[in-house]
Structure 1
Amino acid sequence: MGKEEVINTRYGKVKVLIDRKDGVVLLFRHGLNHSIPPHRINYRANIYALKILGVERILSINSVGSLKEHIKPGTFFIPQDFMEFTKNRISTYYDGEDGKVVHIDLSEPYCPEIVDILREILNKRDYQYSEGVYICTEGPRFETKSEIRFYRTLGDVVGMTGYPEVVLAKELGLCYASLCTVTNYAAGISKSKLTVGEVFEIIKKVEKKLVNIVEDFIEYSSSREKNCQCSMALEYGTVK
Structure 2
Amino acid sequence: MTIDLAVIGGSGLYNFPGLANASRHAIDTPFGAASGDVVTGDFAGRKVAFLARHGESHTVPPHRVNYRANLWALHSLGARRVIGVNAVGGIRGDMGPRVIVVPDQIIDYTHGRYTSFCDVEGAEVRHIDFSEPYTESLRRELINAAGTAGIAVIDGGCYGATQGPRLETRAEIARMKRDGCDLVGMTGMPEAVLARELALDYACLALVANFAAGCGDEAEISIEEIFAHLAAATAEVPRILEVLLKS
CA distance in 2, matches of 1:161, 1:207: 16
The 1:51/1:111 distance shift into structure 2, 3 A limit, reads same
Residue 33 (structure 2) aligns with = 13
CA distance in 2, matches of 1:99, 1:169: 17
Q: Secondary structure at the match of 2:82?
A: strand
Shift of 1:191: 2.3
Residue in structure 1 matching 2:95, options 61, 65, 71: 71
What TM-score does the superposition give when structure 2 sets the normalisation length? 0.85
CA distance in 2, matches of 1:5, 1:96: 25
Residue 12 (structure 2) aligns with = none
Query: Deviations for 1:92-111, whole angstroms, at most 9, x for unmatched residues?
Result: 00126225221110012111
Shift of 1:120: 0.4
The question of whether the paired residues in 1 share the 8 Å contact of 2:89 and 2:209 is answered with yes
The 1:17/1:144 distance shift into structure 2, 3 A limit, reads same
Matches within 5 A, 1:158-169: 158-169=184-195
Q: Secondary structure at the match of 1:211?
A: helix
CA distance in 1, matches of 2:123, 2:29: 20
The question of whether the paired residues in 1 share the 8 Å contact of 2:158 and 2:181 is answered with yes
Q: Decide which moves more: 182-191 or 44-53.
A: 182-191
CA distance in 2, matches of 1:212, 1:128: 12
Instruction: Please list every run of 5 or more consecutive structure 1 residues that lacks an aligned counterpart in the other structure.
Output: 221-240
Q: Secondary structure at the match of 1:45?
A: helix
Matches within 5 A, 1:126-205: 126-130=150-154, 131-153=156-178, 154-192=180-218, 193-205=220-232
The 1:215/1:99 distance shift into structure 2, 3 A limit, reads closer
Query: Deviations for 1:126-150, whole angstroms, at most 9, x for unmatched residues?
Result: 3222221100000000000000001
Q: Decide which moves more: 157-166 or 127-136.
A: 127-136
Shift of 1:83: 0.3
Residue 50 (structure 1) aligns with = 74
The question of whether the paired residues in 1 share the 8 Å contact of 2:161 and 2:186 is answered with yes
Q: Secondary structure at the match of 1:13?
A: coil
The question of whether the paired residues in 2 share the 8 Å contact of 1:75 and 1:127 is answered with no
Instruction: Give the number of equivalent residue pairs.
Output: 220
Identity, in percent, stands at: 35
What TM-score does the superposition give when structure 1 sets the normalisation length? 0.87
The question of whether the paired residues in 1 share the 8 Å contact of 2:148 and 2:243 is answered with no
Shift of 1:196: 1.7
CA distance in 2, matches of 1:52, 1:29: 17
Q: Secondary structure at the match of 1:206?
A: helix
Amino acid at match of 1:133: C
Amino acid at match of 2:206: C
Amino acid at match of 1:211: P
Shift of 1:76: 0.6
Instruction: Please list every run of 5 or more consecutive structure 2 residues that lacks an aligned counterpart in the other structure.
Output: 1-18
CA distance in 2, matches of 1:26, 1:85: 27
**Which is helix-richer, 1 or 2?**
1
Q: Secondary structure at the match of 1:44?
A: helix
The question of whether the paired residues in 1 share the 8 Å contact of 2:104 and 2:158 is answered with yes
CA distance in 1, matches of 2:29, 2:236: 33
Query: What is the Cα-based RMSD across aligned positions, in Å?
Result: 1.5
